[in-house]
Amino acid sequence: MSTPPRGPVDASRTPRYAGPATFARLPRIDQLDAPTDADVAVVGIPFDTGVSYRPGARFGGNAIREASRLLRPYNPAQDASPFALAQVADAGDIAVNPFDINEAIETIEAAATDLLATGARLMTLGGDHTIALPLLRAVAAKHGPVALLHFDAHLDTWDTYFGAEYTHGTPFRRAVEEGILDTSALSHVGTRGPLYGKQDLADDERMGFGIVTSADVMRRGVDEVADQLRARIGDRPLYISIDIDVLDPAHAPGTGTPEAGGLTSRELLEIIRGLASCNLVSADLVEVAPAYDHAEITAVAASHTAYELTTVMSRQIAATRPTP
């Protein structure tokens, strides 16, 4: 990069509640000198046609952007100023057909492929978890099969719902079947709650997933869990997919399929910070449904989660950039 990154609007000169609600008040990607200047593209996908219970996640991306007005440019937990280390920009939304899941998946994959071709890593704001499949297709086309950390209350490796192969509960089964995941480095984190049957766990294990339940995080602590996840991932290209319902409903009421007994927002943020040495090539954050989000609790947690993920990517970009 020949010029310093353009950072967020100065909150000491323009109030946080004023102006366009881009992520963290960062520039839009079309405000950069060239689209290829973006190291990290924050992109929304307002799509929730794949949900099986409460809808509303199509509005999640903009709710996260609004909550991100409070983010500040220095991240003390990671001792980094992410928006000075790399150019992070808001790439707007990928507009998809809300009535045709197959067409929506194709549109998402094509748009993600175009953004990745600029050299950017993606920080995607959903939307429901259906979007993870086309995003993984695009990332794997660039990097080969990727390691996956999937933070979620649910497995999302079921086969079909009402005969439909593409829903928010099936993306990772499809991804394994398509060979776009590195099955030696797959983990769910934060799973809990009832299943359809014990066979769900057997099928999941057969696909290669390891499981760290929310109870495991509580009993073992975030440092030990992060150590285990780093060891499983190694230096493979890593994709992180976070369903906000990995958090307990006390920390994230605004989601479509809440389950009791989840992680605290503090635990989630600390585990992400513990993955800072991993090769994080892209990430998504999904299932924020603001209609159920009193006092914006969920959107605030989601905005900070996206901030930590963006910081990890920015630090890695800066560390690998050739020195002049």
- Compute φ and ψ for 218, nearest 5 degrees: -65, -45
Annotated binding-site members for Mn(2+): 129, 152, 154, 156, 243, 245
Q: What is the pLDDT of residue 137?
A: 99
pLDDT in tens, 54-112: 999 999 999 999 999 999 999 999 999 999 999 999 999 999 999 999 999 999 999 99
In a domain, 162, yes or no: yes
> What does pTM read for this prediction?
0.98
Which residues contribute to the annotated binding site? 129, 152, 154, 156, 243, 245
b/e sequence 201-215, b meaning 16+ C-beta within 10 Å: eebbeebebebbbbe
Domain count within the chain = 1
CA 19 to chain centre: 25
Assigned domain for 256 exists = yes
- Residue 5 domain flag: no
In a domain, 17, yes or no: no
Question: Which amino acid is located at 149 in the chain?
Answer: L
- The two tokens of residue 47 are 């799509």
> What range defines the domain where residue 255 resides?
23-320
Please tell me the predicted confidence (pLDDT) of residue 2: 63
Residue 191, Ramachandran bin (φ over 0: left; ψ between -120 and 50: alpha; else beta): beta
Residue 11 covered by a domain: no
- In-domain check, residue 10: no
In a domain, 4, yes or no: no
Report the SS3 class of residue 74: coil
Domain of residue 158, CATH code: 3.40.800.10
**What are the residue ranges in the chain where pLDDT is below 70?**
1-2, 323-324
In a domain, 278, yes or no: yes
For the stretch 163-183, pLDDT in tens is 999 999 999 999 999 999 999
